[in-house]
Amino acid sequence: MIEFKNVKFSYNTKDRAVKDVSFSVADHEWLSIIGHNGSGKSTIAKLLVGLIEPQAGEILYDGVKLEEKTINDIRHKVGIVFQNPDNQFVGYNVLYDIAFGLENKQVPRSEMLELIHKYTKLVDMEEYLSREPETLSGGQKQRVAIAGILAMNCDIVILDEATSMLDPEGTEEIIALIEELHTKYNKTIITITHDLNLALKSDHILVMKEGHLIKEGKPEDIFEERDILLSSNLDMPFSLKAIYEVSKTELNNNKELMDALWEYRSKM
């Protein structure tokens, strides 16, 4: 369980601050954080992995406070995938990129290869071990980053707009993989995203606005409140917006149509 308690953080600018935000994430839960550009979403991600420290409040992992003396242990549990696939590839090929993290964790060499094969297979990149980063697509690089996190045996995977620089095919690959990590491998997932269809798939959503947590709840509750979404520069996913807009018209009396729209929504 992760607890974010009354955390405050601000840069010197007005933007991207986090103002007294509290929430918790249960084990195996999938949390999405949504909000406008500069609302503080990515700052939360950086705080969660200890890249920056809270100026007030605290962050606890299973009751242990994230601080200087605990950060190394906690980092072994938490992996993060960033927005730009090129900023996180450190090895000269896929094999060495994943080995780099394992080396840091002092995994014995004898075990490394086995782990690398196992997890590159899971993300469907086993055949690319000797490939250099410039020969990979954005989606493939993000999959390598995820394989690295899994090889490190992290229980918690944070994805900070990990699909926003990918094309639709790359985005689809990563979303399918996130769903698999959540359902099949029981990872705790935190996705920070503008992709409302992705947020719709998660268990729990936080809505950020100007550094404040303005709403949290299940996707169906969040996406019902269009005013709150619009106030944070968001909107409903298309399938729900269709229901919402159609139901405001006389078509609301057309039961056959409304049922079909709800059915369409449930397939998304």
Partner 1 sequence: MGISFKNVDHYYPGVKRKEYTIALENINLDINEKNEFIAIVGKTGSGKSTLMQHMNALMLPTKGTVQIFDDIITPKKNKNPKLKSVRKRVGFVFQFPEYQLFEETVLKDIMFAPLNFGFTKEEAEAKAKEVAKLLGIEKILNKSPFNLSGGQMRKAAIAGILSYDPDILLLDEPTRGLDPKGAKDIMELFYNIHKQTGKTIILITHDMDIVYQYATRVVVLNESYINYDGNKEDLFKTNLYNENHLVKPNVLQLIDYLNEKLGYSIDYNTYTLEDLIEKLKEVSNNG
Residues 265 and 268: their CA atoms lie apart, in Å, by 5
Residues 143-182 interacting with partner 1 (rule: CB under 8 A): 161, 164-170
Site for partner 1, residues 244 to 263, rule: CB under 8 A: 245-246, 249-251, 254, 256-257, 260, 263
DSSP assignment, residue 136?
S
Cβ pair 237, 243 in contact under 8 A: no
Q: How far is the C-alpha of 254 from the C-alpha of 47, rounded, in Å?
A: 49
Rule CB under 8 A: is residue 14 a binding residue for partner 1? yes
Closest by Cα among 65, 81, 84, 82 to 73: 65
- Whether residue 81 contacts residue 146, with contact meaning beta carbons closer than 8 Å, is answered with yes
The yes or no reply on residue 224 touching partner 1 (CB under 8 A) is: no
- Sign of the alpha-carbon torsion through 88, 93, 97, 100: negative
Q: Which of 38, 57, 91, 217 binds partner 1 (CB under 8 A)?
A: 38
Q: Check binding of 226 to partner 1 (CB under 8 A).
A: no
Give the nearest distance from C-beta 236 to partner 1 in angstroms: 9
CB 139 within 8 A of CB 176: no
Where is 200: in which H helix or E strand? helix 196-200
Interface with partner 1 in residues 76-95 (CB under 8 A) = 83
Minimal distance, residue 242 CB to partner 1, in Å: 6
Of 3, 53, 179, 235, the one binding partner 1 by CB under 8 A: 235
Residues that bind partner 1 (CB under 8 A): 13-15, 35-38, 83, 137-138, 161, 164-170, 194, 196, 230, 232-235, 238-239, 241-242, 245-246, 249-251, 254, 256-257, 260, 263-264
